[in-house]
Copies of this chain bind each other. A is one copy, B any other.
Amino acid sequence: MDEHTAIHLANLFSALSDPSRVRILDLLFTRELSVGAIAQQLGMSESAVSHQLHDLRIQRIVRARKVGRQVFYCLDDEHVAELFSMGLKHMEHF
């Protein structure tokens, strides 16, 4: 594996290494949600949630869909869902 790929993959995992982001992804694991709905369920401000979602979008971990004035988010693809799911399964060993 070349250095560029290693840095890129490390950045992907780095984007997932925050408890708030993990909780956001957990909510999005089963369904698409608006920023407001995520904020409400996690007891976070909408601006804090938006900030985390922005970083997750850069890494293509989530994607956005605009409906009128609302923005809905979901996991970007099945690899992200699988990545998250494998992380959870791995934790069952502890």
Contacts and interface: CB of A to CB of B under 8 A. Distances in A.
Interface of A: 1, 3, 5-14, 16-23, 26, 60, 76-77, 79-80, 82-83, 86-91, 93-94
Chain A interface SS verdict (over half): helix
Q: So how many copies of this chain end up in the complex? A: 2
A21 B26 contact: no
Contacts of A89: 79
Given A14-B14, A14-B17, A9 B91 contact: yes
26 contacts: A1-B22, A1-B26, A6-B19, A9-B19, A9-B22, A9-B88, A9-B91, A10-B16, A10-B17, A10-B18, A10-B21, A12-B87, A12-B91, A13-B14, A13-B22, A14-B17, A60-B90, A60-B93, A60-B94, A76-B90, A77-B90, A77-B93, A79-B87, A80-B86, A80-B90, A82-B82
